[in-house]
Amino acid sequence: YALSAAIPAAIDRGEFFLDYQPLTSLRDGTVLGVEALVRWRHPELGILGPGRFISLAEETGLIVRLGGWVLAEACREAESWSGGPTPAPFVSVNLAVRQVHRPGLVQEVRALLGRTGLPPERLQLEITESTMMSTAEEPVQALRVLADLGVRIAIDDFGTGYSNLAYLRDLPVTELKVAGEFVTGLRAPTVDPASRTDERILASLVSLAHALDLTVTAEGVETAGQADRLRAIGCDAGQGWYFGRPGPADRLLGRAPALS
Ligand code: G
Ligand code: G
Ligand code: MN
Ligand code: NA
Q: Are 250 and 256 in contact (CB under 8 A)?
A: yes
Task: Quote the pLDDT of residue 189.
Answer: 57
* CA of 94, closest atom in ligand 2: 1
For the stretch 109-168, pLDDT in tens is 999 999 999 999 999 999 998 888 777 888 899 999 999 999 999 999 998 887 678 888
- Report yes or no on whether pTM surpasses 0.90: yes
> How many alpha carbons lie under 13 Å from residue 214 in its C-beta half-sphere?
24
- Where are the domains positioned within the chain? 2-249
Q: What residue owns the CA closest to ligand 1's atom 13?
A: 50
Phi, psi of 127, deg, nearest 5: -115, 155
CA of 20 from ligand 2 middle (Å) equals: 11
Residue 152: Cβ-neighbour burial (10 angstroms; 0-12, 13-18, 19+): buried
Q: What residue owns the CA closest to ligand 2's atom 23?
A: 220
CA of 8 from ligand 1 middle (Å) equals: 18
Q: What residue owns the CA closest to ligand 2's atom 5?
A: 37
Q: What residue type is assigned to position 193 of the chain?
A: P
Query: pLDDT: is 40 or 86 the higher one?
Result: 40
Q: Whole-angstrom Cα distance, residue 17 to residue 89? A: 19
Task: From 212, 224, 257, 183, select the one nearest 29 (Cα to Cα).
Answer: 224
Q: What is the CA radius of gyration of the chain?
A: 18
Q: What residue owns the CA closest to ligand 1's atom 15?
A: 37
Task: Quote the pLDDT of residue 196.
Answer: 84
Q: Is the distance from the beta carbon of residue 10 to the nearest atom of ligand 1 less than 6 Å? A: no
Pocket test of ligand 2: the residue of 19, 20, 21 to mutate, having most ligand atoms within 8 Å of its CB, is: 21
Task: From 84, 88, 70, 78, select the one nearest 31 (Cα to Cα).
Answer: 88
Domain 2-249 CATH assignment equals 3.20.20.450: yes
Task: Quote the pLDDT of residue 133.
Answer: 79
